[in-house]
Amino acid sequence: MTFKTILLATAAMVSAALPLSAAHADTSGKKIALSNNYAGNSWRQAMLTSWDKVTKEAVAAKTVAAADAFTTSENQATEQAAQIQNMILQGYDAIVLNAASPTALNGAVKAACDAGIVVVSFDGIVNEPCAWRIAVNFKEMGRSQVEYLAKRMPEGGNLLEIRGLAGVFVDDEISAGIHEGVAKYPQFKIVGSVHGDWAQDVAQKAVAGILPSLPDVAAVVTQGGDGYGAAQAFEAAGRKTPLIIMGNREDELQWWKKQKDANGYETMSVSIAPGVSTLAFWVAQQILDGKEVKKDLTVPFLRIDQGNLEDNLKNTQKGGVANVEYSQADAEKVIAGAK
């Protein structure tokens, strides 16, 4: 079963009896902007590529008048707040937001709402009540890693935690889930923690820096985009490769497959698909079209296991990210399923 099938299965049952709106004339003159705080890894690049692909088709079909994307040069909430203020002045009807902070942008978001602008946050969400939020259960992403390890390693062991981008909601939530999992399974102990910024090169350098101070490591818990870098660091240090939880980058999945073929190496992958940006776009469009949408929408995280690794790898471009993109009909089903 594919990731999108899982996402839409429940929603489809609820929405089967509901008529889906095929008309989009009401939003043909509307302008939507993407405010993105960071683009320094392959996941963010894939997210922007998905946005560009899907929104260009929507503009060509006259579903909306514009769907422009903007990324700040630094991962700073102050810079992104200024960016949102500019979007207000430029007259956008909706802002789709991947936020640098769940709280620091609330003033700018409230100003946008007060100006009559729809704000839909995703991935890095905001907690300003006037905004909509689309997120996976990031804590569950973290907990699921430790639960998987508990099944594979009932005796437990030392863990190295690779975190994401410091100060971002996603990083905090996944890490909190990992620590909750360790509290549930006390046979595991986190003996080191580094920030990998969801990027292989940063993760490799960070892991290489901490390895000399660590005892034997049984497993590495991660946030995605860091698994391959961690493996390279262990190899360069001449240390035994532990069980490393992977993300959805092609280089991670390719390394996993080579190890699997060579020696039966087994692990799993948990991540959020970068195409969630396209779901956020369509949710914003549906709100502008007058649809009633719950403030909080949850989508499942993407999980890859030993059995479906090769299928996912075949569908992932070299240097890319395992992904799924969403249509207007998908958004309508998700919205209907949340009611």
Give pLDDT tens digits for 198-214.
Answer: 999 999 999 999 999 99
pLDDT value of position 136? 86
Inter-residue contact 99 to 80 (CB < 8 Å)? yes
Say what the pLDDT of residue 231 is: 98
The residue type of 119 is V
Which residues of the chain form beta strands (DSSP E)? 31-36, 66-71, 94-98, 118-122, 132-135, 157-163, 188-195, 219-221, 243-244, 269-271, 296-298, 302-304
Q: Are 330 and 55 spatial neighbours (Cβ–Cβ below 8 Å)?
A: no
What three-state secondary structure class fits 258? Answer: helix
pLDDT at 339: 65
Tell me, what's the pLDDT at 13? 37
pTM: 0.80
For the chain (339 residues), the mean pLDDT of every run of 10, in chain order, is 49 39 69 95 93 98 98 92 98 97 96 98 96 93 97 98 92 97 98 96 97 98 95 97 95 96 96 94 98 93 93 90 92 86
Angle at 122 between CA 119 and CA 127, to 5 degrees: 65
pLDDT at residue 104, rounded to an integer = 96
Question: For the CA atoms of the chain, what is the radius of gyration?
Answer: 20
How many CA atoms does the CB half-sphere of 286 hold within 13 Å?
A: 26
Task: Mention every residue, 6+ apart, whose C-beta is less than 8 A from residue 168.
Answer: 75, 100, 101, 124
Q: How many helices (H) and strands (E) does the chain have?
A: 12, 12
pLDDT at position 2:
52
Q: What span, in angstroms and rounded, lies between the C-alpha atoms of 4 and 328?
A: 14
**pLDDT value for 18:** 39
Q: Which one, of 284, 277, 276, 328, lies nearest residue 119 by Cα? A: 284
Q: Nearest CA to 269 among 227, 309, 313, 304? A: 304
Helix residue spans in 117-215 (DSSP H): 138-152, 169-184, 200-210
Q: Which domains does the chain have, with CATH numbers?
A: 3-136+273-300+321-337 (3.40.50.2300), 138-271 (3.40.50.2300)
